[in-house]
Amino acid sequence: MTLTNQTSVHEFILVGFTDLYNIQSFLFIAFFSMYVLTLLGNISIIAIIKIAPRLHTPMYFFISNLSLIDVCYSSTITPKTLLNIALETEDISLPGCVTQMYFFVALLIAECFLLAVMAYDRYVAICNPLLYLVVMNKRVCILMVTILYIISLILSAVHTSNVFSVSFCGPNKISNFYCDPSPLLKLSCSDTSFKEVVLSAICATVISISITAVFLSYIYIISTILKIRSSEGRRKAFSTCASHFITVTLYFGSLVFIHVFPNSHHSLNKNRFVGLVYTMIIPMLNPMIYSLRNNDVKQAVKKVLKIKQSS
């Protein structure tokens, strides 16, 4: 990844929260609390799935990967945000901005694809239950996750190289609390028309493929569930994909809002709020969604606690 010789900017200023100087202490406490809850919740989910044999299934394999992504995802943004608030600074170095954007975009893409894979997993489990363990065997699950990670890293490299191959020689204030690609391109002193097209194409491709896969999976899932005669059977079938559906709605809803609709139609406050939703709030909520609504996880937690108490 090379920068042009015309680039004279060596650091950027993140102005996402500079207008909220009166509540900096509150923001620090709020963001720190969310980050701690994110780490504790997701690491606990990973540990419980690892410890409990009854959770060694394809669905929980994907959930543990979702938790891993959420931990890394939140960690690319929140620590720097907390540091800037604590030190009352807004700067981030050029290499730091490149690194933050690369891992942030890679993890964002990985989560999109993983949610699509999880939708397919629920489709196979509900629509073809007898073939579930054959179709979604351990080798296939590992292969699917490996491929989505590789694709995410490659697309992020293209995405980040595309943004930082332009010249930055003027203003260096980014209108967000992290290295957001769109505001960054607006700071360039070179022609960014083609770069913006590439940026939009990558975002649109990832979001459209993921949402289409989720949408088609749920069409077949709902169609199959409605054919179940007993109300108890329908309730159990719906409960197996309810947590995933909630996560998908929150995640893709915020992504579509901020990436599909033109930025000019929304204020900085709205975009900043949506950015907070999918960088801090959703990673914190996912463990709660998957644990509070899941009897298997609850039973596994109770069993682990009993073992510890007895020992």
Structure tokens at 176: 């967000």
Cα 64 to Cα 69: distance, rounded to the nearest angstrom: 9
pTM comes to 0.89
Nearest to 270 by CA among 283, 257, 279: 257
Cα 116 to Cα 247: distance, rounded to the nearest angstrom: 11
Domain ranges of the chain: 11-310
Q: Tell me the one-letter amino acid at 304.
A: V
Q: In what order do the strands lie in the sheet with 11-14?
A: 91-93, 11-14, 173-174
Cα 67 to Cα 81: distance, rounded to the nearest angstrom: 21
Per-residue pLDDT for the chain (311 aa), expressed as one digit of tens each?
A: 444 445 567 889 888 887 777 888 899 999 999 999 999 999 999 998 998 888 889 999 999 999 999 999 899 999 999 999 988 888 999 999 999 999 999 999 999 999 999 999 999 999 998 999 999 999 999 999 999 999 999 999 999 999 998 888 878 888 888 998 888 888 888 888 888 898 889 988 998 999 999 999 999 999 998 888 888 878 877 877 888 888 888 888 877 776 665 554 445 666 677 778 878 998 998 888 877 666 677 677 667 666 655 55
**Distance from CA of residue 95 to its chain's centroid?**
23
Burial 105-132 (b: 16+ CB within 10 A, else e): bbbbbbbbbbbbbbbbbbbbbbbeeeeb
All residues at 6 or more sequence positions from 24 whose CB lies less than 8 Å from its CB, including other chains: 17, 85, 88
Q: Does domain 11-310 have CATH number 1.20.120.1200?
A: no
Structure tokens at 54: 């009854």
